[in-house]
Amino acid sequence: MRALIWHVDSFVSRITEKGRSSVVEPMGERETRVAEAILVLASVEKADERAPQIVAQRAAAMLVEHTRKLKVNTVVLHSFAHLFAELAAPQVAIDVLKETEARLIEAGLVVVRTPFGYFNELEIKAKGHPLSRLARVFSVEE
């Protein structure tokens, strides 16, 4: 999984239309609005299909550590297939995101996961400190 991780003052996602994916999650509300949070723009990769649980565990462990460092209690998981990788099958991507979400909740964090399979209009107000923007790759290999 490739991830852009931003510490944000606010995040808004408005669904504009169904994406190209053959798998689409139910949308619920069209708009997701969150105040201060760690925003994770995540792209699950083909190689992650070998061990999706390990990828989710590694992503969650790093995110828990990062949220504690920054004293932030909310994480937004947003599927973002635009990180120049060979993408995993849509259902695998959803499974990895759900497993990551479950592990973060288990660690006591509030998690907001936007629905998979849609194009979105995004509003992001990001902070500007040294740990406010990170890029990470979580994989089966160490």
pTM for the whole structure: 0.95
Task: Give the span between the Cα atoms of 114 and 84, in whole angstroms.
Answer: 20
| CA neighbor of 80 nearest in space, from 64, 70, 98, 93 | 93
| CA neighbor of 40 nearest in space, from 121, 124, 117, 142 | 124
Residue 5 has pLDDT above 70, yes or no: yes
Task: Give the span between the Cα atoms of 62 and 36, in whole angstroms.
Answer: 18
Sign of the CA dihedral running 108, 53, 114, 13: positive
Domain spans in the chain, listed from the N-terminal domain onward: 2-127
> pLDDT tens across 21-56, in order?
888 999 889 999 999 999 999 999 999 999 999 999
> pLDDT tens across 95-139, in order?
999 999 999 999 999 999 999 999 999 999 999 999 999 999 999
3-state secondary structure 83-136: CCCCECCHHHHHHHHHHHHHHHHHCCCEEEECCCCEEEEEEEEECCCCCCEEEE
Task: Give the span between the Cα atoms of 10 and 24, in whole angstroms.
Answer: 25
Which residues does 56 contact at the CB level (< 8 Å), separation at least 6?
96, 97, 99, 100, 103
Q: Which CATH number fits domain 2-127: 3.50.80.10, 3.30.300.30, 3.40.640.10, 3.90.700.10?
A: 3.50.80.10
15 strand-pairing partners: 120
